[in-house]
Each structure stands twice: as C-alpha cells, then as structure tokens.
Amino acid sequence: MREVILVYLDRSGGLQKFVHDCKKYNDSKQSYAVYRFIISINPSDIAELDATLGNYILHNPLQAAQIFQSVCFVAIKTLSLIEQLQTEAQISILLKPTHLPPLPSYVLSLSAYPFNYTSPRFYMSEGIVIAMGTVTKYTQGARFLCTEETCPFSEGRFRCIRVHCPGATESATVRTDFVCSLCSSPLQEDMKFRVLGDKQIVELIDAKILNALKGYSIDKSHFRIQAFTLFLR
C-alpha cells in the first residue's frame, strides 16, 4: 500500500504540494509539536491503482491516514524536508476526498430510518444551514513533558504528544490528568509547542424541510425534521 500511495501522490501532483508545504514549515521560525498536512485524494483513481487501498480509504479513513503518515515521514526524512521533525507521531494527515461513490450507502440522511451511521468513514450530506457560530480556536496538537526530572520523557524530545483526531473532543487533546507511560508521573504541557487551528459550529437541517414549506399537501403522513450539528475544522 505504501508503494501505491507514493505512486499516486507522484502522478496526481500531491507529492509536489506536500514538498511545498514542508518547505513552508521548514522556513518558519515557529516551533511545532505537530505538522499538519491536507492531502486531496481521488478514490476512483486510487482504486484503479489498488482496489484494496481504495476500499480501505473509503471505509477506514483513520487507519488509511496512518499509512499516509508513514509514507510522508519516510519522504521527509529521505529528502530532508523538515529539519525539526523528530518522530512520525508529529505528522498529522487529513485525507480530503474529491468525491465519493454516488451510492446510497455513502449519503448521510437523518430523515431516513434506521440510522446505521456507526462506521467512522466518509459520508456525503446535503442540507440547509440554519445557524452558524463564531470562529474559535481549538488545539490541533500539543507536547507534554514528564514532571519527574529523572525520567527520560522529561527531556525536550517529542515523545509525549497529543494530536486531535476527527470526532474527538478538546479534552482528548489537552487535559491536566495525563500521566507518563514510562513512570506514571503527571505530564505537563509545554505551552510554546501548542498548535492551534480554527473551528466553527454549524447547525444543518435536511433539505427535505423544503417540502414542508410548499403549503398544503395531499400526503397526510407525519414526519419530523431535526437539525444536527457539524464541527468545521
């Protein structure tokens, strides 16, 4: 799969964009605990190269991102793209599909029953925005150090970092009760390495609500429309 990913990135121009993003990080004077990369992917093109990888990306995107993470780490180290990078865990990959297969199973509709959306994979959803919150900050990544001075994890290396994952809450990334996996001592965040991003909360309602605004209908069936919340990061 790693070889297929490298071939796809080279053919699609994603590798050139990745090198450009690395250059911006390398030229920056700011210190980062996490280096975040957004990689656009065409599921159809990847499936033509390797059907297993294409299916894996569509149905297990979080695990697929870890494979991309491994490929990107090797590329950075081989080409010396980011001098400050120390560990593979410092790389955060966000896979951004250009489209999804036009099949019902890839469409998220909260007006349908039953709601079998338990798989953490990609879905399409179409609706009407009825409310928007203000843009606020959230933590994309942070570095922690062990408070026990004799512990190897108290040194200034990136051995204890937290990276935000899709669907996680803020407390999963930044908290005060994390403990060292080596000596069980409390961990303390190194604030100068915190990486922030923008997020916005949006209330969306199914597009079928428009049917209720057409006035009288001969359809006497009852229906209920409820808005759902999206976090745009």
**CATH code of residue 78:** 3.30.1640
What confidence score (pLDDT) does residue 143 get? Answer: 92
Cβ atoms of residues 129 and 57 within 8 Å: no
Same domain, 113 and 228: yes
Let me know whether 111 and 38 are in one domain: no
What letter would DSSP give residue 6?
H
**Single-letter residue type at 182:** L
- pLDDT at position 216 is 55
Domain boundary among 99, 121, 156: 99
Residues 178, 200, single domain; the answer is yes
Do 62 and 161 have their domain in common? no
Beta strands in 149-222 (DSSP E): 160-163, 187-206
Pair 89, 15 in one domain = yes
- pLDDT tens per residue across all 233 residues of the chain: 999 999 999 999 999 999 999 999 999 888 788 999 999 999 999 999 999 999 999 999 999 999 999 999 999 999 999 998 999 999 999 999 999 988 888 888 776 655 666 778 888 888 899 999 999 999 999 999 999 999 999 887 888 989 998 888 888 899 889 999 889 999 999 988 889 999 999 999 888 777 777 765 556 566 667 888 999 98
Domain range for 32 is 1-99
Regarding whether 94 and 167 lie in a shared domain, the answer is: no
Q: Which of 78, 99, 120 is the last residue of a domain?
A: 99
Domain C-terminal end among 84, 99, 114: 99
Assess whether 78 and 140 both reside in one domain: no
pLDDT of res. 220: 57
Cβ burial of 146 (10 Å; 0-12, 13-18, 19+) is buried
Is residue 118 located within the same domain as residue 228?
Answer: yes
**Whole-prediction pTM value?**
0.84
How many CB atoms are closer than 10 A to CB 198? Answer: 11
Q: What pLDDT is recorded for position 105? A: 83
- Clarify whether residues 90 and 190 are in a common domain: no
Is residue 174 located within the same domain as residue 65? no
Determine the Cα–Cα distance for residues 101 and 59; give it in Å rounded to an integer. Answer: 12
Please indicate, yes or no, whether residues 39 and 149 belong to a single structural domain of this protein.
no
Cα atoms in the 13 Å half-sphere on the side-chain side of 153 = 20
pLDDT at 138: 93
* Residue 174 shares a structural domain with residue 212: yes
User: What's the structural domain count of the chain?
Assistant: 2
